[in-house]
């Protein structure tokens, strides 16, 4: 059984930064794909970034150059460093995990496990 808990969401002004964390309660394995998604008000869920067990990272065009996904393998925690935040980044951010690593950078792929989400609000 896998349990994902996000934290770090907050309200910030445009141009500010936040770091989200996703703590995964899971067995230790090296083949997986973890990702961040977001869902803004009135919008569909959107893939943001992914990281695979081998450390490869992938980003949506809308966040490339501003967001960085990373992981601490010892604690099974994935982070999303968000810089130069924009009003349009306002959303509930979710982390997701799947044991299938292939196509980790494909934003439309399925993920088996999901967290409950953390709210990020960016004001102008």
pLDDT exceeds cutoff 90 at 1? no
Q: Give the per-residue pLDDT at 97.
A: 96
Mean pLDDT, the chain, rounded, equals 95
Q: Which residues of 89-107 are buried (b: 16+ CB within 10 A; e: fewer)?
A: bbbbbbbbbbeebeebbeb
Mean pLDDT score, 73-85: 96
DSSP string, the chain: --EEEEE---EEETT--EEEEEEEE----S--EEEEEEE-TTS--EEEEEEETT--EEE-TTTTTTEEEEEETTTTEEEEEE-S--GGG-EEEEEEEES--TTTT-TTS--SEE---EEEEEE-
Range name among 23-27, 41-45, 115-119 with the lowest pLDDT average: 23-27
Higher per-residue pLDDT: 27 or 18: 18
Mean pLDDT score, 33-57: 96
pLDDT exceeds cutoff 90 at 9? yes
Mean pLDDT score, 52-81: 96
Among 108, 66, 96, CA closest to 2:
96
């Amino acid at each position: 059984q896998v349990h994902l808990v996000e934290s770090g969401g907050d309200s910030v002004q445009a141009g500010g930064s936040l770091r989200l964390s996703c703590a995964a309660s899971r067995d230790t394995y090296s083949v997986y794909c973890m990702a961040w998604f977001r869902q803004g008000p009135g919008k569909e869920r959107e893939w943001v970034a992914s990281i695979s067990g081998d450390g490869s990272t992938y980003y949506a065009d809308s966040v490339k150059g501003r967001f960085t996904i990373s992981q601490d393998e010892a604690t099974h925690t994935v982070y999303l460093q968000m810089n130069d935040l924009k009003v349009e980044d306002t959303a509930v951010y979710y982390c997701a995990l799947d044991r299938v690593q292939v196509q980790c950078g494909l934003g439309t792929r399925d993920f088996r496990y999901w967290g409950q989400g953390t709210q990020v609000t960016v004001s102008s």
